[in-house]
């Protein structure tokens, strides 16, 4: 192979050297065939190499270099088998190549799980290679793989951050070239998770001795931080309520709609077994140094939205315990007018 290459290089040098000694016109007349051969070579090899190899490589390279940032994901109208998803994102590139990227379906999967099972498919609209391209998509989304979607929600609820990949095959049209080039759009992004709602606080609490009309003997407000970029329409959520490892009741939060940020405040109510609470309130350190702030834990029990049972949120919220310290002394004082005496321990 390399020998053949050398021979042809040598021959072409000969072709180029000889004509220098003759006149331009004679040279052209005599060696028209050489130009024809050169033209044919350029047309047959060089142009196709540029069009078929170089341009698509550049197109793919430019697409690979572009950066995708997710600004927000909004899940609304959550139903058992589907929901509406809005994704607001930006694609940034150097903007040097003028090209159109055809619409395509991009699958989304968790990068750090080896099976890369898609949990959702995003319909990307046609985009251009502008340096700053806002891509907002709102679409009805059918949950094709409930296991993968539940896992995504579970990671979102539990993790500090995790990686999600968006990938799809599409075509690029470069300005001035009729051909469409197949390219692959593949971007991996870091997604902040909810960290099991760490930092949730409960305030404006009140307790009653008898359950009210809704069966609750505890009411308060919960401020639930959302560190993720995702807005969730969760619906009516119930939680197991644990104290010192024992289940002591059920917590209800209705119409839970979590937006990114710190101002997610929801009324909560609970139906709590009173005995373990009263006992703890009379024991050290809760009755003195801990000031009646009890270390409860919450774990998802059931999520329904407009009468539909949402397994993907139920399972995600059930995947771990969320610690919430609740001041029981303040509502206790309001109810009884005094603290419980500390029993010796
Ligand atoms: C979405 O799912 C619900 C069940 O959860 C079903 O009743 C409804 O028809 C679905 N919507 C569409 C458009 O498929
Ligand atoms: C995309 O969505 C963002 C956030 O909701 C919004 O600020 C922006 O105006 C939208 N842009 C377009 C082009 O729709
Ligand atoms: C995310 O959380 C899941 C389950 O809670 C865990 O198995 C996984 O290792 C975590 N991944 C990362 C990247 O933190
Ligand atoms: C949550 O806490 C309860 C009570 O301590 C315990 O029984 C349960 O196994 C915990 N669940 C998880 C998922 O950590
Ligand atoms: C909660 O309320 C229901 C109905 O009033 C009652 O049957 C149940 O025992 C209560 N649970 C607790 C933990 O108090
Ligand atoms: C949640 O509630 C729905 C509707 O009431 C019920 O069908 C489902 O079995 C419940 N799931 C759990 C885990 O309790
Ligand atoms: C939550 O429950 C209440 C009382 O049962 C009901 O009126 C309301 O429609 C439910 N909300 C949702 C979003 O399902
Ligand atoms: C407590 C906490 O981390 N809150 C965050 C909630 O989400 C917003 C937006 O993503 C952040 O700015 C907050 O810091």
Residue 171 pLDDT more than 50?
yes
Closest ligand 2 atom to Cα of 71: 4
Q: How far apart are CA 136 and CA 193, in angstroms?
A: 21
Q: For position 14, what pLDDT does the model report?
A: 44
Q: What is the pLDDT of residues 78-124, one digit of tens each?
A: 999 999 999 999 999 988 888 899 999 999 999 999 999 999 999 99
Residue 327 pLDDT more than 80?
yes
Give the CATH number for residue 104: 2.60.40
Ligand 8, pocket residues at CB < 6 Å: 199, 225-227, 229, 260-262
Instruction: From 79, 140, 305, 310, give the residue whose CB has the most ligand 1 atoms within 8 Å, as the site to mutate.
Output: 79
Please tell me the distance between residue 311's alpha carbon and the centre of ligand 1 in angstroms: 15
Please tell me the distance between residue 155's alpha carbon and the centre of ligand 3 in angstroms: 6
Q: For position 22, what pLDDT does the model report?
A: 57
Q: For position 30, what pLDDT does the model report?
A: 79
200 shares its domain with 180: no
Ligand nearest to the CA of 73: 2
Residue 336 pLDDT more than 90?
no
Report yes or no on 61 lying in a domain. Answer: no
Report how far apart, in Å, the C-alpha atoms of 304 and of each of 45, 209, 254, 310 are.
Answer: 64, 28, 9, 6
Please tell me the distance between residue 272's alpha carbon and the centre of ligand 5 in angstroms: 7
The encoded tokens of residue 320 equal: 């771990």
Average pLDDT over residues 52-77: 90
Q: What is the pLDDT of residues 182-233, one digit of tens each?
A: 999 999 999 999 999 999 999 999 999 999 999 999 999 999 998 999 999 9
**Which pLDDT band holds residue 8 (cuts at 50, 70, 90)?**
very low
Average pLDDT over residues 17-39: 71
Average pLDDT over residues 114-136: 94
Domain housing 120: 69-193
List residues bridging with 142 in a β-sheet. Answer: 82
Q: How far apart are CA 109 and CA 149, in angstroms?
A: 9
321 lines ligand 4 (CB under 6 A): yes
| CA-proximal residue: ligand 1, atom 2 (nearest) | 81
Average pLDDT over residues 327-345: 84
Q: For position 141, what pLDDT does the model report?
A: 96
**Range list of β-strands (E), 111-245:** 120-124, 127-128, 132-142, 161-174, 180-192, 201-207, 218-223, 230-243
Please tell me the distance between residue 179's alpha carbon and the centre of ligand 8 in angstroms: 46
Report yes or no on 166 lying in a domain. Answer: yes
Residue 10 pLDDT more than 50?
no
**Which pLDDT band holds residue 7 (cuts at 50, 70, 90)?**
very low
189 shares its domain with 231: no
Final residue of a structural domain among 130, 162, 193: 193
227 shares its domain with 187: no
| CA-proximal residue: ligand 4, atom 14 (nearest) | 320
Final residue of a structural domain among 193, 216, 244: 193
295 lines ligand 4 (CB under 6 A): no
Final residue of a structural domain among 177, 193, 209: 193
| CA-proximal residue: ligand 6, atom 5 (nearest) | 309
325 lines ligand 1 (CB under 6 A): no
154 shares its domain with 214: no
The number of folded domains in the chain is: 2
332 shares its domain with 200: yes
27 lines ligand 4 (CB under 6 A): no
Average pLDDT over residues 52-71: 88
User: In which region does residue 249 sit, left (phi positive, over 0), alpha (psi from -120 to 50) or beta (all else)?
Assistant: left
Q: How many helices (H) and strands (E) does the chain have?
A: 9, 17
138 shares its domain with 218: no
Ligand nearest to the CA of 84: 1
**Mean pLDDT computed over every residue of the chain:** 89
């Amino acid at each position: 192979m390399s020998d053949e290459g050398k021979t042809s290089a040598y021959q072409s040098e000969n072709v180029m050297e000889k004509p220098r000694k003759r006149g331009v016109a004679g040279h052209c007349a005599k060696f028209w065939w050489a130009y024809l051969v050169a033209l044919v070579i350029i047309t047959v090899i060089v142009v196709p190499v540029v069009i078929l190899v170089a341009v698509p490589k550049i197109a793919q390279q430019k697409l690979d270099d572009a950066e995708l940032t997710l600004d927000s994901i909004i899940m609304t109208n959550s139903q058992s088998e589907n929901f509406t998803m809005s994704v607001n994102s930006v694609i940034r590139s150097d903007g040097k190549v003028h090209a159109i990227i055809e619409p395509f379906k991009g699958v989304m999967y968790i990068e750090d799980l080896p099976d890369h099972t898609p949990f959702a498919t995003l319909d990307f609209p046609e985009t251009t290679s502008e340096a700053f391209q806002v891509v907002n998509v709102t679409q009805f989304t059918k949950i094709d793989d409930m296991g993968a979607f539940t896992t995504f929600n579970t990671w979102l609820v539990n993790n500090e951050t995790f990686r999600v990949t968006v990938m799809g095959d599409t075509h690029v049209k470069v300005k001035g070239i009729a051909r469409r080039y197949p390219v692959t759009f593949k971007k991996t992004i870091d997604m902040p998770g909810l960290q099991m709602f760490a930092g949730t606080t409960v305030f404006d609490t009140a307790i009653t001795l008898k359950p009210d009309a809704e069966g609750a003997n505890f009411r308060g407000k919960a401020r639930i931080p959302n560190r993720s970029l995702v807005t969730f329409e969760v619906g009516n959520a119930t939680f197991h309520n644990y104290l010192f490892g024992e289940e002591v009741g059920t917590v209800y939060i209705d119409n839970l709609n979590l937006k990114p940020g710190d101002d997610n405040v929801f009324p909560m109510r609970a139906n709590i077994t009173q005995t373990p609470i009263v006992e703890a309130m009379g024991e050290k350190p809760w009755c003195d140094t801990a000031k009646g702030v009890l270390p409860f834990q919450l774990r998802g029990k059931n999520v329904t939205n407009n009468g539909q049972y949402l397994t993907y949120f139920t399972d995600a919220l059930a995947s771990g315990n969320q610690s919430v310290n609740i001041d029981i002394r303040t509502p206790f004082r309001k109810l009884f007018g005094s603290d419980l005496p500390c029993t010796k321990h």
